[in-house]
Chains A and B, each alone.
Chain A
């Protein structure tokens, strides 16, 4: 490592080396993204060809085979080859089975950046508004889940009884499909007058506490026997051992499990928005899209969720980087 750095330095300074390292990291990412987009466009053709041919026929074009019933039973790939003139139409439909990447991109822009430019960022048609609704439930749920997860882990590590009593239940809780339990949580809380943000946040918390518990149990137990013996030779108490050794040792595990917990919290919030009747949020947007066959809207909402998750996990990653570096624990 040091030798490489030295050699680079001799060749053109640290800046050049940094740029080279960045481009070395960028190239594989760009290649993979390009491959996915290319594959996506290819997949659009057979997915959308039947609808495209139907529309072309209505517009007066001659299609092979001419009978709609025959086309229904024909293989999509065969149809593509027999009607290659109409391939272009598969990328521009209003309600495609599989929207093309540029259609999704356009919809994303129309419902975010364009809305901002027109000063309607928080209109009900704006994805920013829906993302904000989902984000608030996600962050609140994540906070509850993380606090609960850490508290459980502390209990499990320090108490034999909790270790044996809580862990099986924590694992069992995650084997229940969230889709089954989410409507029940919403209905039960609604019947006692709690609506809106809290029920969704609780579903998020339900999903996100688990990775935090598992990660923190492992992290708090990560100091080896020698480290614990050392503190015993100082007659350190359990709480001193916790604050001075166990907690700092668990930090790398804490951040890793928070990243998983954050992604799980977002899924929980989206699922929590579905049974409420599609009022607001990315989940509502997904559901509304599927009610009305708005595939482009569904995909745009999916991408908005993915971008949101990436940003949230990225923020935790950045905090992790700074914290561990300042703690001298960066790897």
Chain B
């Protein structure tokens, strides 16, 4: 079983690399292991994770709780450090990549500072990174436009709906022009209607900016709708069980979710989750 999995992974990885031969590798993980030492003994959050993400990819990570999808994203962001294997981000270690402002990170909660206006929230990373006042204003205007929040810069977070707050937090992650956007269940706390809308906007944003996006989700339709590649993960130990290349076109209206092609991919994701015993207990 183990060998078969590894073989399948390698196949799809190579297929991915060939398909995007022109795009440079952005994130590369080789035999990545991460073991947390807890009071109940060691917990293997990641085991033997091999993955290559190319520039401009939209990669979703899907799997049940404890499968290591968030942990993997945190390793990329240098918020956790692997206990084995190697990972590079833009050809650097994650720590170096962070200092080079390689990525913007979007968390599940918007986490806007209530004492700052939306514009000043977006300026937060810019202030820390030492942008000049004029640059800050220029960046804020640009990213507010990107997330359709023009004219809301002077509002306080509590004056905005949950979906708008999350868009503001995406704007904050985009503010310093990182090429990689890491999103950890960014729409998990929002209702389905808002979520659909934000998914549509996110695709549009991705199309316009050409960012590389790593996106953690619990939702099969969300993963299939958004991604160019879907990484299916399983828990205990956290590992990759399948990597699915999406055959959907880049242009994706919301009703693409009713096409047979979409349903076929969703079916394969579900099979991948089942193979990893994700539906046990």
Contact of B115 among A230, A232, A235, A248 (CB under 8 A): A248
B82 nearest CB across to chain A (Å): 17
Q: How far is the CB of A270 from chain B (nearest CB, A)?
A: 37
Instruction: Select A328's contact among B103, B111, B114, B124, beta carbons within 8 Å.
Output: B114
Contact of A74 with B by CB under 8 A: no
Indicate whether B206 reaches chain A with its CB closer than 8 angstroms: no
- Select from chain B the residue with minimum beta-carbon distance to A230: B111
**A229-B107, A233-B105, A329-B114 are contacts. A244–B128 as well, Cβ < 8 Å?**
yes
Q: Is the CB of A244 within 8 A of B127?
A: yes
Given contact pairs A226-B107, A328-B156, A234 touches B125 in the complex (Cβ within 8 A): yes
Q: A178 an interface residue at 8 Å Cβ cutoff?
A: no
Among A232, A233, A235, A327, the most chain B Cβ lie within 10 Å of the Cβ of: A233
B98 CB contact (under 8 Å) in A230, A235, A327: A235
- How far, in whole Å, are A229 and B75 apart by their CA atoms in the complex? 12
Q: Using A226-B109, A244-B124 as known contacts, say yes or no to A232 and B79 having CB atoms under 8 A apart.
A: yes
A231 touches B109 (CB 8 A): no
Contact mask for chain A residues 237-269; partner B; CB cutoff 8 A; 1 contact, 0 none: 000100011001001000000000000000000
Residues of B within 8 A of A226 (CB): 107-109, 111
Knowing A233-B79, A248-B115, A329-B114 touch, does A240 contact B128 (C-beta < 8 A)?
A: yes
A251's closest neighbor in chain B, by CB? B115
A230 to B114, CA, bound (A): 15
Contact, CB under 8 Å: A230 / B157: no
**Contact pick for A233, options B98, B108, B158, CB 8 Å:** B98
- In this assembly, does A236 line the interface, its C-beta being within 8 Å of a C-beta of chain B? yes
The answer to whether B115 and A236 touch across the interface, beta carbons within 8 angstroms, is: no
Please name the residue on chain A nearest to B108 by beta carbon.
A226
Any A CB within 8 A of the CB of B122: no
> What's the least CB distance linking A227 to chain B, in Å?
6
Contact A327 B128 (CB under 8 A): no
Q: How many residues of B contact A (CB 8 A)?
A: 23
Q: Which of A235, A248, A327 has the most CB of B within 10 A?
A: A235
| Minimum CB–CB distance for B47 against chain A, Å | 24
Q: Check if B77 sits within 8 Å of A248, measured CB to CB.
A: no
| Residues of A with C-beta under 8 A to B128 | 231, 234-236, 240, 244
A230, B105: Cβ atoms closer than 8 Å: yes
- How far apart are A322's CB and chain B's nearest CB, in angstroms? 13
In A199-231, the 8 Å CB interface with B consists of 226-227, 229-231
B113 near A248 with CB under 8 A, answer yes
Bound together, the chains give a CA A232 to CA B107 distance in angstroms of 13
State in angstroms the CA–CA spacing of A277 and B123 once bound together.
Answer: 59
Interface mask (B92-117 → A, CB under 8 Å = 1, otherwise 0):
00000011000111011101011110
Q: Mark B33-64, 1 if CB is under 8 A from A, else 0.
A: 00000000000000000000000000000000
> Bound complex: CA of A232 vs CA of B111, how far in Å?
14
Task: Kindly identify which residue among A229, A232, A251, A328 contacts B157, using a CB–CB cutoff of 8 Å.
Answer: A328
Interface centre among B99, B113, B158 (most CB of A within 10 A): B113
Query: Is B275 close to A, CB under 8 A?
Result: no
CB-defined contacts of A329 to chain B, threshold 8 Å: 114-115
Interface pair B99/A235, CB less than 8 Å apart: yes
Q: How far is the CA of A125 from the CA of B4 in the complex (A)?
A: 96
Contact check, B77 vs A233: say whether CB atoms are below 8 A apart. Answer: yes
Which residues of chain A from 272 to 331 have a CB within 8 Å of any chain B CB?
Answer: 327-329
Interface pair B107/A327, CB less than 8 Å apart = no
Return the chain A residue nearest B77 by Cβ. Answer: A233
Which B residues are in CB contact (< 8 Å) with A230?
Answer: 105, 107, 111
Q: Which residues of chain B come closer than 8 Å to A229, judged between CB atoms?
A: 79, 105, 107
A245 and B113 contact, CB distance less than 8 A: yes
A230 CA / B109 CA spacing, docked (Å): 11
A249 → chain B, closest Cβ, in Å? Answer: 8
Q: Which residue of B lies closest to A241 (CB)?
A: B128
Is there a chain A Cβ closer than 8 Å to B263's Cβ?
A: no
B256 within 8 A of A: no
In the bound complex, do residue B114 and residue A327 qualify as a contact, i.e. CB atoms below 8 Å apart?
yes
- Does B129 sit at the interface, judged by CB under 8 A? yes
Complex Cα gap A236–B98 (Å): 11
- The verdict on A328 contacting B79 (CB below 8 Å), with A230-B105, A234-B128, A240-B128 known, is no
What residue of chain B has the Cβ atom nearest to residue A244's Cβ? B124
Contact A327–B115 (Cβ < 8 Å): yes
Taken residue by residue from 128 to 140, chain B's Cβ proximity to chain A (1 for < 8 Å, 0 otherwise) reads as 1100000000000
Min CB gap B97→A, angstroms: 11
A156 to chain B, nearest CB (A): 23
In addition to A233-B104, A329-B115, 20 A-B residue pairs with Cβ atoms within 8 Å of each other are: A226-B107, A226-B109, A227-B111, A229-B79, A230-B105, A233-B98, A233-B103, A234-B129, A235-B98, A235-B99, A236-B128, A244-B124, A244-B127, A244-B128, A245-B113, A248-B115, A327-B114, A327-B115, A328-B115, A328-B156
Residues of A near any B CB (own CB < 8 A): 226-227, 229-236, 240, 244-245, 248, 251, 327-329
22 chain-A/chain-B pairs, Cβ below 8 angstroms: A226-B109, A226-B111, A229-B79, A229-B107, A230-B105, A230-B111, A232-B79, A233-B103, A233-B104, A233-B105, A234-B124, A234-B129, A235-B99, A236-B128, A240-B128, A245-B113, A248-B115, A328-B114, A328-B115, A328-B116, A328-B156, A329-B114
Closest 3 CB pairs of A and B: A327-B115, A233-B105, A328-B156
